[in-house]
Structure 1
Amino acid sequence: MKAMMILTLACLWFMATPALAQQQVKIPEDISKLLTQYACLACHKADAKVIGPAYVDVAKKKYTNAQIVSLIYNPKPANWPGYPPMSPMKNVPEKDALKIAAWINSLAKKHS
């Protein structure tokens, strides 16, 4: 009985560990303000799929900062099958889009 309990707890820990690790993405305050200001967080989260892909998943695509900025302004739905098309976010100034892109790309190093 005790062995079964230990095995059950070990299985639960093993299953929960990837989810816990994935939820540890901290958004820097300056980036959080930009993501909030431009309503990015309505569809994207740092570490979880919402309406759009998680930012850690975008980072895994290995886009350059310039490519991410281009995709903010002119989304390519073919790049993300299974997701609804993103609306062009032409209201985001380039300097802010570049800050967001650089942060997204920084996630690739931390979550690869």
Structure 2
Amino acid sequence: MKMKLVFGVLLFSGLALKVNAQNTIPKDIQPLLQKYTCTACHTVDKRLVGPSFRDIRKKNYKPEKIVDLIYAPQPKNWPGYPPMAPMKNVPKPEALKIARWITTLK
């Protein structure tokens, strides 16, 4: 009985860590999201002002398409959300890094 309880706690802890890891923004991405104010409107898994990064991932855009949409948002792609301002101040290599991360989300 005690062994099953310990195993259950360890298993649950492992699952909790896995879930948290999926919600964690990587250390190299977080500063970019903050610098370019992405996190003012987007979170990993919940609607804020704009869609979550996971919801963006569900559209199956290629990273290059996400970059295009960062520079020239298309509100018709996201009915029910306020239009996003074009973020032309984000350098392309950094926008691509963010976009590639978005495409890795489950």
User: Which has the higher mean CA deviation after the structures are superposed, 22-31 or 51-60?
Assistant: 22-31
**Aligned residues of 1:22 and 1:47 also touching (Cα < 8 A):** no
**Identity, % of aligned positions:** 55
- Give 2:47's aligned residue: 49
Alignment partner, residue 57 of structure 2:
59
Identify, as 1 or 2, the structure richer in helix.
Answer: 1
Among 68, 75, 94, the alignment partner of 1:96 is 94
Q: In the alignment, which residue of structure 1 is the partner of 2:37?
A: 39
Distance 1:72 1:24 in 2: 23
Alpha-carbon distance, 1:23 to partner: 9.1
* Structure 1 runs not aligned, ≥5 long: 1-20
Structure 2 segments unaligned to the other structure (5+ residues): 1-18
Aligned residues: 88
Letter in 2 for 1:30: D
- Equivalents in 2 of 1:77, 1:25: separation in Å? 26
> For residue 70 of structure 2, what is the aligned residue in structure 1?
72
Aligned-CA RMSD value: 1.5
Q: TM-score, normalised by structure 1?
A: 0.75
TM-score, normalised to structure 2's length?
0.79
Instruction: Note the C-alpha offset of 1:24.
Output: 4.7
Superposed displacement of residue 22, structure 1: 8.5
Per-residue deviation, 1:41: 0.2
